[in-house]
Structure 1
Amino acid sequence: MSTWREGAVNGIPIALGYLAVSFSFGILAKNAGLSAMDAVIMSGTSLTSAGQFAGLTLIATSAALMEVIFAQLIINSRYFLMSASLSQRIDPSTPISHRMIMAFGITDEVFGVSTAVKGTLSPFYTYGVMSVAIPGWMLGTFLGAYSGDILPGNMVSALSIALYGMLIAVIIPPAKGDKVLSGIILISMVGSLLFSVIPLLQMISSGVKIIVLTFLIAGIAAYLFPVKEETEHE
């Protein structure tokens, strides 16, 4: 319980941040035609702002189910790496049930605080973080979806751009001073623009666009500019 409480305390700042961001997602979900309950279920099962934003876009455009599945698989593939990394920090004898629950609740922020734990990571620490962070994400979604019916239209419109601001805040800081990453972001923006203005490319659905651009740009960048692993010298 002490380990769980420590994780819960460290999860409070994450929950507060989630509350603000998911509020905007709730508004967007309501505008896309989802009910408040639909939006909350989506937040409670996905736990990914980028994935939910992309999924919401595909739902709003009536994309095929397989497009949504593949797009989510690609966008959220980083969680495979995060889960694999944390698996090296826990006790080797940890049951598969604990590993699966931890993997389900891994987000960028939960991974960050879990990685910062010194020594062997207890699943119950991550559970503590999850038990506060996930309800914060779901509560913000509910409040956003519910407020879409009671707030003035101009206020809802203003609040709905907060999620876009968060996505920009995620990519701008690491791009500073990194010419490769800055170039990749610029190429991604240009590629997305081309898909939206060229008549032939406009016929391609949103889900396929996301999949094609992600595979092409990320794949080419990984091949041309591989990240070199740092070697430790004793």
Structure 2
Amino acid sequence: MFTNGLRRGMPIALGYFPVAFSFGVLCVNSHMPLGMATLISVTNFTSSGQFAGLNLMLAQASYFEVALTLLMINARYFLMSLSLSQKIDRHMNALERMIVSFCISDETFALASLEVKPITFKWMSGFLLGPFLGWSLGALAGELVVGLLPSAIQGAMGIALYGMFIAIIVPASKHALSVAVVVLMASLVHIILTYVPFFQFMSAGFKLISATLIASLCGAKLFPREVSDNE
């Protein structure tokens, strides 16, 4: 069962490695202490959260801004974990559930939710081990190899996060008008907060938080989700 889970998680591990590699390169190029990228990746399992947190750290944002931003970014994991808890084996104890919840991500949740049989701790341990190692080792490799890469490639790795976000929002925006409107609204609000002199008193962290909140609230108001009687 462990081996079967490990095999299922390998495609995610291979996909995580290059993104984590770029995170390691970005940390080194941002003059973070050697080993910091690996430490962050081992203790946190959130790609977008880590990149956003690093940007806020470099912008010298306050602890409160960092905590609030990451809470907003990672809030979706509460719902994912709640949904996945309906599929796990009833014999899984609290400690095992906490271990499993640490490695829940968009990709691991998507694949695990497709399982027909109840999810056991052994299966989840193997399933989540690959992505965790892929993410952690990718960050370590990025830190160690960055000095061997040409400067042009090092600079290109800095836009890996933006490429990942574009790959997420563009297909969704093409298929859903609501997503496109929310994305454009968030971009517009952030541009206003950044370039209008009146808002210069706001820090970079609160500008990001404000743009996210305003776009999300407007999206919920303009495009409410209709719930059927069976839901």
Shorter-chain TM-score range:
over 0.9
State the match for 2:202 in structure 1.
204
Compute the TM-score of the two structures, normalised by the length of structure 1.
0.93
The answer (yes or no) to whether the contact 1:24–1:162 under 8 Å persists in 2 is yes
1:47-126 to structure 2, matched below 5 A, reads: 47-126=45-124
Describe the SS at the equivalent of 1:120.
coil
- In the alignment, the residues of structure 2 paired with residue 141 and residue 122 of structure 1 have an alpha-carbon distance, to the nearest angstrom, of 29
Check the 8 A contact 1:55/1:72 in 2, yes or no. Answer: yes
Q: Give 2:149's aligned amino acid.
A: L
Aligned to 2:29: 31
Taking structure 2 as the reference length, the TM-score comes to 0.94
| Unaligned segments of structure 2, at least 5 residues | none
The number of aligned residues is: 231
Distance 1:230 1:13, change over 3 A: farther
CA RMSD of aligned residues (A): 1.7
Pick aligned residue for 1:145 from 139, 143, 146? 143
- The 8 Å contact of residues 7 and 125 in structure 1, kept in 2 or not, is answered as yes
Q: CA 1:230/1:144 → structure 2, altered by over 3 Å: closer, same or farther?
A: farther
Q: Is the 8 A contact 2:13 2:132 kept in 1?
A: yes
Q: Deviations over 1:169-199 (max 9, x none)?
A: 0111111131111111111111111122112
Q: CA shift at 1:36, angstroms? A: 3.4
Pairwise CA distance, 1:91 = 2.9
Deviates more, 1:69-78 or 1:201-210: 201-210
Match of 1:229 in 2: 227
Task: Give the Cα separation in 2 of the matches to 1:229 and 1:6.
Answer: 36
Matches within 5 A, 1:151-190: 151-190=149-188
Q: Deviations over 1:98-139 (max 9, x none)?
A: 111111110111111110111212122221121111111111
Aligned to 1:195: 193
Q: CA deviation at 1:93?
A: 4.1
- Does residue 1:218 correspond to 2:216, yes or no? yes
Q: Give the C-alpha shift of residue 150 in structure 1.
A: 2.5
Contact kept? 2:66, 2:205, Cα under 8 Å: yes
Between the aligned partners of 1:35 and 1:4, the Cα distance in structure 2 is 36
Distance in 2, Cα, partners of 1:34 & 1:130? 28
User: Do the aligned partners of 2:26 and 2:157 also contact (CA within 8 Å) in 1?
Assistant: no
